Amino acid sequence: MPKAPAKTAPKQGTADLEARLTALRSEVDEILAALAEAEETAEEAVETVATKAEDISEEILKDARRALKQIHKQAATLEKTLGVQTSANPVQTLLLAFGAGFIASLLIRR
């Protein structure tokens, strides 16, 4: 049975382990750096998305306010027109209201 020198085998094993450990530490450092970069990129993306969402919501709110003002103006115009028509033709308006009520009552009974 040939024997290997006892002193050289452990030194080679230790040196090999130390080299592997150094390589592993280097890989872990690279992974940590990549994770930090990914985190930074993700934070920037979140900020960008939040800003865009805020801009879009402000735009939608402005559009909704404009539409509401327009509807309000149209309702006011319709109210004025209805008032003028009612004042100009009171009997016709009364008969129209009576007819609409009569038809509604017939429909409700069924």
d(CA 27, CA 37): 15
Stated pTM of the model: 0.49
Which parts of the chain register pLDDT below 50? Answer: 1
95-98 contacts, C-beta under 8 A, 24 or more apart: none
pLDDT confidence of residue 32: 94
Cα distances from 31 to residues 20, 27, 34, in angstroms, run 16, 6, 5
